[in-house]
Amino acid sequence: MNAKPEHYDVIRKPVITEKATMASAANAVVFEVAIAANKPQIKDAVEALFGVKVKAVNTVLTKGKHKRFRGKKGVRNDVKKAYVTLMEGHSIDVSTGLS
């Protein structure tokens, strides 16, 4: 495995939600990634860190919500998520973490 330190800067953490679990039925895994990361960087990072072949990468940028906390206004951070579709026969178990 050729995991460079910058690969860990691209992929922040796996997203474990109901929608992400439904995407795993289509052989896809969802990760929270750096805002500045592009699709080729995400593909290289996933292939290097997990030792799998990536078929496609789709990204979505979610703008932070405006919220109130104890009467004060605030804004949540923007989040970029990557839906990584894997080739047939490859899988990632995000519940176990990195090996």
Which strands form 28-33's sheet, in the order they lie side by side? 11-14, 28-33, 79-86, 54-62
Q: Is residue 93 included in any domain, yes or no? A: no
DSSP conformational letter for 73 = E
The reported pTM is 0.84
61: in domain: yes
Which range marks the domain in which residue 63 is found? Answer: 5-86
Q: Is residue 76, in this structure, part of any structural domain at all?
A: yes
For residue 12, the domain's CATH number is 3.30.70.330
What are the structure tokens assigned to 20, written together? 């992400």
Give 90's contacts (C-beta < 8 A, 6+ positions apart).
Answer: 27, 52, 53
77 burial type by CB count under 10 A (0-12 exposed, 13-18 middle, 19+ buried): exposed
Q: Domain for residue 92, yes or no? A: no
> How many structural domains is the chain composed of?
1
What does pLDDT average to over the chain?
Answer: 89
Q: For residue range 18-56, what is the model confidence (pLDDT) as tens digits? A: 999 899 888 999 999 999 999 999 999 999 999 999 999
Residue 65 lies in a domain: yes
* Token pair belonging to 92: 């990632």
